[in-house]
Amino acid sequence: MDRELQFEDSIRNVLEYVGEDINREGLEKTPSRVRKAFEFMCSGYNQDPKEIINKALFTSTNDEMVVIKDIEFYSMCEHHILPIIGKAHVAYIPNGKVVGLSKIPRIVDVFARRLQIQEQMTEQICDALHEALNPKGVAVMIDARHMCMEMRGVEKISSTTVTSALRGLFKKEKKTKDEFLSIVSQSLHK
C-alpha cells in the first residue's frame, strides 16, 4: 500500500476512534486534506538551510548588527502534535558576507515546519545561520504560544515561552547582547 493511502487510512481510524462517522459528507475528503496539510506543515524535513543561504550570499563591508524582527511562524509540538504559534527575532553581525533578507524567514520556516520543541528550534536556527554565514555573531530569540498548554493540560491561555540562542559576539560581549535585547524587547508579547 502506498504511503499516502496509509496516512489517509490512519486519519480515518482517528476519526472513527473519536466517534465520527467517516462516511458523512463533511468528512469525505478530510483524510486527503489532512495528509496535504501535514505535507506542508512538515515540509522543513525536505529543505536544506545551507542550500537556501548559499543561493543568496553577497560580499559586504557592513560589520554592524542586522536584525529581522517579528518573523511569524507556525510549528507543531512533537509531544502532542498541536500548534506552536510565535515570532522569531534573528540578528547577525556580518563578517564579509551578508545574506538576502528574505532568506532569514525561510530558515525559520525550515525548522518550524518540523515536529519541534521550541528550545531545539531556537538552537537549530542559530546554528544553521552561524555555520552558513560564518558571522561575528548570531542571536535568535523566539516568543511563542503552545496549544498543548492552552487547549489541554494546564489550560493556561495566552502564556508565552521565550527562548534564546547566542553565538559569537552576542555571547561574548554584554554590550552586543544588550543591544539585541533592547531592539527585540519592543516586540516581545505583542
Mean pLDDT of 158-172: 95
**pLDDT confidence of 36, banded at 50, 70, 90?**
very high
126 as an active site residue: the answer is: no
pLDDT above 80: residue 7: yes
Q: What is the pLDDT at residue 190? A: 56
Pairing assessment for the beta strands 97-99 and 83-93 based on DSSP bridges: unpaired
Q: Which of 47, 120, 148, 173 is catalytic?
A: 148
Helices (H), the chain: 3-17, 30-41, 49-54, 103-112, 118-133, 147-150, 169-172, 174-185
Give percent above pLDDT 90 in the chain. 89
Which residues make up the CATH 3.30.1130.10 domain(s) of the chain?
Answer: 48-185
124 as an active site residue: the answer is: no
Distance (Å, rounded) from C-alpha 82 to C-alpha 94?
36
The topology under which CATH files domain 3-41 is: GTP Cyclohydrolase I; Chain A, domain 1 (1.10.286)
Q: Which of 51, 72, 79, 131 is catalytic?
A: 79
89 as an active site residue: the answer is: no
pLDDT tens digit string along 126-162? 999 999 999 999 999 999 999 998 888 888 788 899 9
Q: What is the pLDDT at residue 1? A: 64
Which residues make up the CATH 1.10.286.10 domain(s) of the chain?
Answer: 3-41
Q: Which three cell numbers stand for residue 48?
A: 536544506
Q: What is the pLDDT at residue 24? A: 95
Average pLDDT, rounded, for the chain: 95
Q: Which of 8, 89, 116, 118 is catalytic?
A: 118
Say whether domain 48-185 belongs to CATH 3.30.1130.10.
yes
pTM score, two decimals? 0.93
- Cβ-contact 99, 56 below 8 angstroms: yes
Positive or negative torsion for Cα 179, 125, 69, 134: positive
- Which CA distances in Å does 140 have to 5, 18, 41, 74, 177? 39, 39, 22, 16, 11
Give percent above pLDDT 70 in the chain. 97
148 as an active site residue: the answer is: yes
Q: Which of 8, 77, 124, 130 is catalytic?
A: 77
Q: What is the pLDDT at residue 157? A: 84
8 as an active site residue: the answer is: no
Element (DSSP H or E) covering residue 64: none
